[in-house]
Amino acid sequence: MRKRGAQRRHGALGAVALAAGLTAAGVRAADLALDPQAITRAIALGQTSVAADLRRFHEPYRVNVSRAPVDYLEVVTPFRRIVLAAQARAGAGDRRWGQRQAIELEASAPRQIDLYAELTFHPLNSFVLVPPYRIRIALPTGELMSPRNGSSMPRYGPRVDGGLVPFSPTPLPGGPVPGRSQPMLGATIVASFDGDAMTAVCNQRCDVVIEEEGKTRIQVPLTLATLK
């Protein structure tokens, strides 16, 4: 047990060192610490009324999988987290959401990258709880990088395509009660990673591994180099 823990720590430290080397070499990676100008740009984009601009921005962050039960994978970087939050508040009619709130949001998840896997289950399933899926990153050493934390959110109604990715892993209240109304039609699996370690591995290309009960179900290629 101690040996495996030491290997995981060594892998994460090595990934952070590689991230620093990439930055020094001028290789572009997702921004993990946003300056005031970047925060202002993210807020302005989230609050824009030009739907086409938002569609173009969000498109590269979705990786289509289309292999049951995974429909697609969404990447949420610190920049996109602020865009999504500003977009959600603007959609609710609140345009007072600004720098202070964005800085607080960034501080709540420092240098963090979130992965959201959107799942659809067979309509005749008998699930009461979301099956034990989890998301990890394959390292060049053959080990798997685990997230800082993870969660899952069941979906009982039909998914509305084009809806916002949740920027918080807290499900909205008031949904259908399991076993008393609609069946569980799908779920969202959330994994939050140390951004420095993840960019070191995924800046050019890595494999996202989606597991069920410790067994690999799907591997999805991912690159972060083109994302803000």
Q: Please tell me the predicted confidence (pLDDT) of residue 161.
A: 64
Task: Provide the residue ranges of all domains of the chain, joining segments of one domain with +.
Answer: 2-28+61-75+110-170+178-222
The predicted structure's pLDDT at residue 95: 85
> Could you tell me which residues come within 8 angstroms of residue 18 by beta carbon, excluding any fewer than 6 positions away?
200, 201
Q: Are 219 and 136 in contact (CB under 8 A)?
A: no
**Beta carbons within 8 Å of 48's beta carbon, 6+ residues apart:** 54
Judge contact between 205 and 222, C-beta under 8 A. Answer: yes
Task: Give the predicted TM-score (pTM) of the model.
Answer: 0.81
Q: Give the pLDDT confidence score for residue 85 in this predicted structure.
A: 93
Spans in the chain with pLDDT lower than 70: 1-29, 161-163, 166-181
Q: What per-residue confidence (pLDDT) applies to 157?
A: 80
What pLDDT is stored for residue 156 in this prediction? Answer: 87
Q: Tokens 């345009």 map to which residue?
A: 95
Rounded Cα–Cα distance for residues 5 and 60 (Å): 34
- CA–CA gap between residue 203 and residue 23 (Å, rounded): 11
- The 10s digit of each residue's pLDDT in 4-41 is 454 444 445 444 444 444 444 444 668 899 999 999 99
How do 149-155 and 144-145 pair as beta strands? unpaired
